[in-house]
Chain A
Amino acid sequence: MEQFFYFLSFLAILTSIMVVVSKNPVHSVLYLILTFFAITGHYILLNAHFLAIVNLVVYAGAIMVLFLFVIMFLNLNKDAEPKKPVAMQFASVLAAGLLFLVLVAAVKDVSLGTSSIPVSNIGYVSELGKLLFTKFMVPFEITSILFLSAMIGAVVIAKK
């Protein structure tokens, strides 16, 4: 199990770095898909089958297809790339640096104890369903209505 964990973590970090480093935006999206696969592997190791497969369907499947779709349409290349003003570049470096500071501060206090992967059945569909429809009933229903209204909104826009 531990080898799998290290392999998946290595894969996730490597592909995440490649997402940022890749020059070609389509390559970035493809690396991001690999990252989602690695994270799905992590969920499986945690015995969270439902979350794993939903991560695969929603993120690796649907959302990344949309990303790829949009990027293919934009047809990004060197000539079309807009010139960014120096102030904007400075601001983005500053913002990224501050985020990096926060992350480092968060990692500083982490204790590297020996933790084993907890084996529980909470990731099974039936357990998750019970939890969602009892303890988290209200937020779950509100989210459902939100999604339904988004979908109906899309249909209404399409009808115009």
Chain B
Amino acid sequence: MDIVLIEKSILVVIIFAISLGIAAYSTYFERKFAGFFQDRVGPNNAGPFGILQPLADGAKLFTKEEFIPTNANTFLFILGPSLAMLTACMTSAVIPWGGTLEVAGRTISLQVADLSVGILYVFGVVSLGVYGIMIGGWSSNNKYSLLGAIRAASQNISYEIAMGLSIIALLMVASDGTLSISNIVNFQINNYWLIVYQPLGFLIFMICSFAETNRTPFDLPECEAELVGGYHTEYSSMKLGLYLFAEYVNMFISSAVMATLYFGGYDVPFLADFEASLGHNLVTILGTLFFFGKIMLFIFFFMWVRWTIPRFRYDQLMKLGWQVLIPLSIINIVLTGLVLTFVK
């Protein structure tokens, strides 16, 4: 029992460190890509190719003046960014990062918790994620912050519905009676990846992921052209840093969720055939590396969209959520049901 606890603790620390590392370097690559898309150089002064830029940004944010508005609710003002960061980091516990490793006669799974309701856990954390923004925006006691917070809340609720409905169609294909995520990856190892069965579901899920992470074209909660800075207008120093950082962690995690649910997770076609020659552990590590490759592609896609597409108007955002995505996802469920009934 105790050794399992130690293994899991080590795994948690590693995943936490990797999430933060990738989030930090996502900021660097976002700025590099932005430079590329806009025909500029991007950050290039801190270290070779500007590779130390995230460290410089971190040092800057940590040493800036801490400022809390007089009429703000101090406790909630501090709680806001903390909650945003906490909920961003929570999802990684149920994602299977790889197969199993065999160390000293023990089989170690590269998934911290294989919950029987894993998918719903992801969904639950996503639905809690908006509290950080709402609490921060309200406690700032600033009308622009409040408007940002309210936009975040209504956007989050609207797109959660379509997201949940697209997951229902996915489960109709892949579930064997539980909602565990490792199960869904196993289904994809034994069959095709779920993108083949659920192309429309994936499209809906991806659009909703953009909306839930408040990335462009859905970044209306911090729409700087109308709301100064949106929900984090009043924030400075590392509290602002945490909000910005949480967005990148969220982006990494939702990329991981999309890669797991629709692109086979750590599954690589034909890699299992090499298990005899390469050894079990090496195959597992290669699978994990490929999984991170898939995640990187999704993160790149997030950035590509951000620097290509302008943001929606608010009524367009609501129209897309309620009048396009929800009917589409219901049609997707019905179609999936028909195909499962008559084709199989």
Contact flags (1/0) for B127-160 with A, using CB distance below 8 Å? 1101100110010000000100110011011001
CB of A68 within 8 A of chain B? yes
Residues of A within 8 A of B134 (CB): 65, 68-69, 72
Residues of B within 8 A of A42 (CB): none
The answer for the CA separation of A62 and B76 in the assembled complex, in Å, is 20
Q: Is A126 a contact of B177 with CB atoms below 8 Å? A: yes
CB of A12 within 8 A of chain B? no
CB of B326 within 8 A of chain A? yes
A87 to chain B, nearest CB (A): 35
Q: Is B153 a contact of A49 with CB atoms below 8 Å? A: no
Q: Is B318 a contact of A158 with CB atoms below 8 Å? A: yes
CB of B203 within 8 A of chain A? no
B290 to chain A, nearest CB (A): 30
Residues of A within 8 A of B319 (CB): 158
Q: Is A62 a contact of B153 with CB atoms below 8 Å? A: no
Which listed residue, B121, B157, B179, touches A62 by the CB 8 Å rule?
A: B157
Q: Count residues on chain B whose CB falls below 8 Å from chain A CBs.
A: 34
CB of B269 within 8 A of chain A? no
Q: Is A66 a contact of B157 with CB atoms below 8 Å? A: yes
Residue of B nearest to A148 (CB): B330
The answer for the CA separation of A49 and B117 in the assembled complex, in Å, is 7
The answer for the CA separation of A154 and B319 in the assembled complex, in Å, is 12
Known A-B contacts A65-B131, A72-B138, A151-B161; A124 and B124 likewise in contact (beta carbons under 8 Å): no
Residue of B nearest to A73 (CB): B150
Known A-B contacts A57-B124, A65-B157, A73-B150; A30 and B177 likewise in contact (beta carbons under 8 Å): no
Q: Is B117 a contact of A69 with CB atoms below 8 Å? A: no
Residues of B within 8 A of A66 (CB): 153, 157
Q: List 22 A-B contacts (CB under 8 A).
A: A30-B135, A49-B116, A49-B117, A50-B120, A53-B121, A53-B124, A54-B120, A56-B127, A56-B128, A65-B130, A65-B131, A65-B153, A66-B157, A68-B153, A69-B150, A72-B134, A72-B138, A129-B177, A151-B326, A155-B322, A155-B327, A159-B323
The answer for the CA separation of A159 and B322 in the assembled complex, in Å, is 9
The answer for the CA separation of A33 and B178 in the assembled complex, in Å, is 27
Q: Is B117 a contact of A50 with CB atoms below 8 Å? A: yes
CB of B300 within 8 A of chain A? no
CB of A32 within 8 A of chain B? no
Q: Is A125 a contact of B116 with CB atoms below 8 Å? A: yes
Q: Is A65 a contact of B326 with CB atoms below 8 Å? A: no
CB of B123 within 8 A of chain A? yes
Residues of B within 8 A of A148 (CB): 330
A interface residues with partner B (beta carbon < 8 Å) = 26, 30, 33, 49-50, 52-54, 56-57, 60-62, 65-66, 68-69, 72-73, 124-126, 129, 148, 151, 154-155, 158-159
A155 to chain B, nearest CB (A): 5
Known A-B contacts A65-B156, A68-B134, A154-B322; A125 and B178 likewise in contact (beta carbons under 8 Å): yes
Residue of A52, A54, A57, A151 most packed against chain B (CB within 10 A): A57
The answer for the CA separation of A72 and B136 in the assembled complex, in Å, is 12
Q: Is A61 a contact of B128 with CB atoms below 8 Å? A: yes
The answer for the CA separation of A154 and B124 in the assembled complex, in Å, is 23
Which listed residue, B117, B150, B323, touches A72 by the CB 8 Å rule?
A: B150
Q: Is A33 a contact of B131 with CB atoms below 8 Å? A: yes
Residues of B within 8 A of A60 (CB): 124, 127-128
The answer for the CA separation of A33 and B323 in the assembled complex, in Å, is 30
Q: Which 10 A-B pairs have the closest CB atoms?
A: A61-B127, A126-B177, A53-B120, A56-B124, A53-B117, A57-B124, A69-B153, A49-B117, A158-B322, A155-B322
Residue of B117, B150, B322, B327 most packed against chain A (CB within 10 A): B117
B264 to chain A, nearest CB (A): 23
CB of B296 within 8 A of chain A? no
Q: Is A57 a contact of B116 with CB atoms below 8 Å? A: no
Residues of A within 8 A of B157 (CB): 62, 65-66, 69
Residue of B115, B123, B124, B330 most packed against chain A (CB within 10 A): B124
